[in-house]
């Protein structure tokens, strides 16, 4: 493959990293809004039906089930976008190796000007290569990173909403069983 083709493919996958992360953040925001709205509507319904135990229980159970489902779907969808970003990172790492930009140019290779940061071992940030040094497969890299970074906080937020909705569900079942 020609170097220009490698560079073009590299650009495509670097864009893919950004698109996947943008979708990850965008969908997290949308699901966060949806789940918050469901919680608000459920709380309003519970307060509206304060004199009717059955209606309170039904509203609580319905809102909680919808909130839990939205949380699970949102978590799964955000996971997929984050996974796509990590997979694109593994591909760009391979292309960086093929292009030779993941190593520091040798000063003996001809007319190479003095590089800034002369003690750096790599042209790319050290974190990029150190982060992948002991990992042998793309799957290992993706699996190791799925519960880190922004995805860790997205998952924790969805789990928090699942717990809040589970409490509402328990409340609703209690109201329904008391009726």
Residue % of the chain over a pLDDT of 70: 83
Which letter does DSSP use for residue 166 in this model?
A: H
Question: What's residue 36's pLDDT?
Answer: 96
The tally of domains found in the chain comes to: 1
Nearest to 78 by CA among 38, 37, 32, 40: 32
Q: Identify the sign of the CA torsion 129, 131, 136, 142.
A: negative
Residue 36 in domain: yes
| Half-sphere exposure at residue 131, Cβ-oriented, CA atoms within 13 angstroms | 16
Q: 127: how many CB neighbours lie within 10 A of its CB? A: 9
In a domain, 110, yes or no: no
What is the distance between the alpha carbons of residues 85 and 19, in angstroms, rounded to a whole number? 8
Residues with Cβ < 8 Å from 122, sequence gap 6 or more?
102, 103, 104, 128, 129
Render pLDDT for 69-115 as a digit per residue (tens, 0 to 9). 999 999 999 999 999 999 998 888 888 888 877 665 565 655 555 65
Domain that holds residue 88: 3-105+118-178
Mean predicted confidence (pLDDT) in 136-159: 90
Is there a domain that residue 86 lies in?
yes
Residue 119 pLDDT exceeds 80: no
Question: Does any domain span residue 111?
Answer: no
Q: pTM of the full predicted structure?
A: 0.79
Note whether residue 113 is domain-resident: no
The verdict on residue 159 lying in a domain is: yes
Answer yes or no: is 112 within a domain.
no
In a domain, residue 46? The reply is: yes
């Amino acid at each position: 493959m020609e170097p220009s083709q490698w560079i073009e493919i590299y650009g495509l996958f670097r864009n893919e990293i950004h698109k996947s992360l943008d979708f990850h953040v965008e969908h997290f925001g949308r699901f966060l809004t949806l789940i918050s709205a469901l919680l608000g509507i459920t709380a309003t319904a519970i307060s509206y039906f304060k004199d009717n135990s059955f209606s309170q229980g039904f509203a609580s159970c319905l809102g909680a089930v919808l909130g839990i489902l939205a949380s699970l779907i949102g978590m799964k969808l955000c996971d997929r976008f984050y996974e796509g970003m990590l997979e694109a990172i593994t591909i760009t790492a391979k292309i960086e190796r093929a292009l030779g930009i993941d190593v520091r140019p040798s000063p003996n290779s001809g007319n190479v000007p003095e590089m800034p940061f002369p003690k750096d071992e790599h042209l790319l940030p050290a974190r990029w290569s150190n982060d992948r040094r002991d990992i042998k497969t793309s799957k290992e890299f993706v699996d190791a990173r799925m519960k880190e970074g922004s995805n860790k906080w997205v998952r924790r937020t969805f789990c928090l909403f699942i717990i809040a909705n589970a409490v509402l569900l328990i409340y609703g079942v209690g109201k329904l069983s008391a009726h």
